[in-house]
Amino acid sequence: MKSPHATIVPVLLALLCGCTAARARPDGSGADSAGMHPDGDGSDERTTSAEALRQRVAARGGTLRVACLGDSNTASDWQHRKDPSFERGHGWCEQLADHLGALVVEVDNRASAGARAVARPPHQLRGSRLILSGPDQLAAALAAGPPDVVLIAFVTNDLHPSDPQPSEEIIATLLELAVAAEERGVLAFLATAPMLRPHATPGRWSPEPAAIKLINDRIREEVPATRRLDFDRSPRADNYLDVIHLNAAGHTLRAREAARAIRAALGMAQESRDPPARSGRAAPPTTTSPAGQH
């Protein structure tokens, strides 16, 4: 029996490569397209999504619309309670403008603490805050834009010890989110999950390190490097607030990694020095967040 993501990977790879493709049928066969139909000559193969992105950004005078999906390590509305140096509403997603040179970056951060990639009904945590899973976060971002780029960073809560999801389902969901975004002309990037703080003793609610590593290894197998954000590379204890959550320094590292991937997709030169201080930017990012977050 095929794994849940066996029919998704070829579609994702075709989208990422700019090839003509359609979503695979449940039986594993593909729908007809110019590149697959025996009568098609492939001459109408679509422009790669990266090239389309470059054209859209240029047409808007350098404005890039970015949506971020994820959990508490992407949301930026709570860390200031633990770390006074963390500026509320200025996590790694909002910091992208500091690392993308002359681009004007419009940010839509849909992430929320407690969120999972795997689909589940919206639920509430700690009062009135509404938690949306990956598909609902993506739907909200697409309805509001759509964005040019979507950055997808989940997994930690999908592996929560109280209700861990099967690794196959987590991977399948992440790939489905990327495919759904790409089919709307949005450039999708998938992030690896953060490892636990080095040398820390896993807490009662912490995912198992081996489970995190398994998911990250699978992401590296399934997702091309050009569409992957390596958020688990070389973790350092001084970049964490606690066992699993990043502090301001950790968010800055994530922002640089995400900006690196976006720069590469746009054909921009990579950063050669630290970006200017935020206070000196002529055009700070426009940021929106889901109602009810806190």
**Mean predicted confidence (pLDDT) in 104-114:** 94
Domain residue ranges of the chain, discontinuous segments joined by +: 1-46, 47-288
Question: What letter represents residue 19's amino acid?
Answer: C
- In the prediction, which pLDDT does 192 show? 98
CATH topology of domain 47-288: Rossmann fold (3.40.50)
| Among 45-59, 128-142, 186-200, 262-276, the range of highest mean pLDDT | 186-200
What does the angle CA 157 – CA 158 – CA 159 come to, to the nearest 5 degrees?
85
Give the separation between CA 30 and CA 34, rounded to whole angstroms.
12
CB 235 within 8 A of CB 243: no
Q: In the numeric block, which tokens belong to residue 171?
A: 């991977």
Q: What per-residue confidence (pLDDT) applies to 33?
A: 29
pLDDT single digits (tens) 118-157: 998 887 666 666 899 999 999 999 999 899 999 999 999 9
Higher-pLDDT residue of 42 and 172 is 172
Q: How far apart are CA 219 and CA 191, in angstroms?
A: 8
d(C-alpha 205, C-alpha 243), whole Å? 10
Question: What per-residue confidence (pLDDT) applies to 125?
Answer: 64
> What pLDDT does residue 202 have?
78
pLDDT band at 2 (very low <50, low <70, confident <90, very high): very low
User: Residue 39 carries which side chain, given as an amino acid letter?
Assistant: D
35-74, pLDDT tens digit by residue? 222 333 333 333 467 888 999 999 999 999 999 999 999 9
> In the predicted model, what is the mean pLDDT of residues 178-198?
96
The pTM of the full predicted model, rounded to 2 decimals, is 0.80
* Confidence (pLDDT) at 23: 40
pLDDT band at 99 (very low <50, low <70, confident <90, very high): very high
**What is the average pLDDT across 87-114?**
93
